[in-house]
Amino acid sequence: MGGLKDILLRLHAHDCQFVLIGGFGAVAWGSSIATRDVDVACDMSPANLRRVWLALAELAPRHRMGSGRPLFTEEDAARDGWKNLYLATRNGQIDLLGEVKGIGGFQECLSRSAPITLDGKEIRILSLEAMIQAKRSMGRPKDLQTVMELEVVRERLGDGSSPGSGEV
């Protein structure tokens, strides 16, 4: 997961507005799920996407969807109207989502997030309850398995106020 962690640290270093969600977020809460990408709820404004582009530029980000897998460029970042971006980089894949099923848009995700420490840097992660709700809303077998694991984590934490050990 080193490459995925590097992606998150790059986003943090460039002041990108994002909330960690998905499998990597579930792992931070204590799930044993294996994941090969990082998913974030993201402010999809051109200003924030330009910071994302700056954060990832050295990793040669490419669009994963569509023909030819073109580079994600500064011009792409400046375009308004993105709902989601699915990128491949030298360090792994990242999905930047403008909306999370069962939760809502970036602002709703941000309001339902908690801080976590990643290599000494504070980033935001969906709260345990929101993570369970989002995973349950997805309804895929792997997400429902993750829900079962996260419910055990919730029971162990009691109030569910802080992710895992606080360090990923």
Burial class (CB in 10 A: 0-12, 13-18, 19+), 116: buried
Average pLDDT, the chain: 92
Q: What residue ranges define each of the domains in the chain, with the CATH number in brackets? A: 2-155 (3.30.460.40)
pLDDT, position 161:
59
**Full-model pTM:** 0.91
- Higher-scoring residue by pLDDT: 66, 10: 10
- What is the 3 state secondary structure string of 101-123? CCCEEHHHHHHCEEEEEECCEEE
Q: What confidence tier does 162 reach under pLDDT thresholds 50, 70, 90? A: low
Q: What confidence tier does 165 reach under pLDDT thresholds 50, 70, 90? A: very low
Residue 167: is its pLDDT beyond 60?
no
Burial class (CB in 10 A: 0-12, 13-18, 19+), 161: exposed
Q: Give the model confidence (pLDDT) of 99-118 as tens digits.
A: 999 999 999 999 999 999 99
Distance CA 58, CA 90 (A): 9
Q: Give the model confidence (pLDDT) of 34-67 as tens digits.
A: 888 999 999 999 999 999 999 999 999 999 987 8
- 133-148: average pLDDT: 94
pLDDT, position 163:
66
- Higher-scoring residue by pLDDT: 34, 147: 147
